[in-house]
Amino acid sequence: MSPPQRQLYAISDLRDEPTFCATVADRVWRAWWQGTGHPLEHVADHMQEMLNDEALPFGLVAHDGGHYLGSTLIISCDLEERPQYAPWVAAVWVEAEHRGRGVGRALVGRAAQAAFDLGHDIAYLCALPEKRSFYEGFGWRRLEENVGPHGLTVLTCFSPRVRSNFDLLEPFPQSGRSSVAGGR
């Protein structure tokens, strides 16, 4: 029996693949706004901001040629209760038939790297408690829990530069030992 074949796909900046803009707007609307009464047209109008030349906001789309697989947005603020945090990886969506194949993980990783490439040392993401383990499974860390009316978890991802600084820190002394010269 031969090993399963890896699915090959591209992850592109939405500004380079604007034909996916309507699809991304539809998925964002279905997942987060349809049930709140927001019209699709409002989401589609906001999605146009992802196509401007500003550093933020922008979107990433996973696709196999002209076939949409998933997307995510990189925005200034995704949680009005935490405006001090920026930038955010937001609206992560993968089509049901492509879940469990690494597309979401690749999108989130590429989005965080894009934030780091813009000079940010930390990327933020909020998730429902039942979704946080997905992000923690590839290195995102909980910063806060039960935030806002939906009880969201705020997660962080540090840039490689910041992570390497953590490696330079000495571990805390073991209990019963003192790190001070002449201590017990």
pLDDT at 179 over 60: no
pLDDT tens-digit profile of 125-138? 999 999 999 999 99
Q: How far apart are CA 40 and CA 22, in angstroms?
A: 10
Q: What is the pLDDT of residue 163?
A: 74
Amino acid in the structure at residue 176: G
What percent of the chain has pLDDT above 70?
Answer: 85
Rounded to the nearest angstrom, the gap between the alpha carbon of residue 96 and the centroid of all alpha carbons in its chain is 18
Question: What fold is seen in the domain 10-168?
Answer: Aminopeptidase (3.40.630)
Q: CA-CA distance, 159 to 120, in Å (whole number)?
A: 8
pLDDT in tens, 74-113: 999 999 999 999 999 999 999 999 999 999 999 999 999 9
Residue with tokens 């946080």: 132
**Cβ-based neighbour number of residue 177 at 10 Å:** 9
Q: What is the dihedral of CA 35, 40, 45, 51, to 10 degrees?
A: 90
What would the pLDDT profile of 27-47 be if each residue is shown by its tens digit?
Answer: 999 999 998 888 999 999 989
Q: Per-residue pLDDT tens for 123-176?
A: 999 999 999 999 999 999 999 999 999 999 999 999 988 876 665 545 444 444
What's the number of CA atoms in the CB half-sphere (13 Å) around residue 82?
22
pLDDT at 6: 59
Q: For the chain, what is the radius of gyration of the CA atoms?
A: 19
**CA pair distance 44, 10, nearest whole angstrom:** 23
Q: Residue 7's closest CA among 103, 111, 108?
A: 103
What is the enclosing helix (H) or strand (E) of 114?
Answer: helix 103-117
β-pair partners for 123:
157
